[in-house]
Every structure is written in structure tokens, then in C-alpha cells.
Amino acid sequence: MMFSGIYMNRLGDPDEVASAILFLASEHSGFIAGVGLHVVGGMLAK
């Protein structure tokens, strides 16, 4: 299966990625520093 390595079995929508970007650009992320936000649908979860 093409998406077997992705926990959610689908590709992310552009809106989902955009939401993460907008969050990081907003004042709500003001206390976040030095963190990588992986928007990969659980692909890194084991």
C-alpha cells in the first residue's frame, strides 16, 4: 500500500499544513523555541 508508512493512511491536506504554519506564525506560539514541528500524519510514530 502506498501509504503504509503513514499512520493516518492518507496524505495531508494543504489546509492542514497551512494551519501548522499559521500557528507558528501567530502569537499563540510565542513560548515555543527551538522545536521542529513535523506535520507528517504520524509517520514518525512507532
Contacts of 11 (CB under 8 A, 6+ apart): 3, 41
- Looking at residue 37, its pLDDT comes to 80
Domain locations in the chain as residue ranges: 1-46
42 pLDDT above the threshold of 80 = no
Q: What is the pTM of this model?
A: 0.64
pLDDT in tens, 1-36: 566 666 777 788 899 989 989 998 999 999 988 878
Contact 5, 46 (CB under 8 A): no
User: From CA 34, how far away is CA 24, in angstroms rounded?
Assistant: 12
Contacts of 44 (CB under 8 A, 6+ apart): 38
State phi, psi for 41 to the nearest 5 degrees.
65, 30
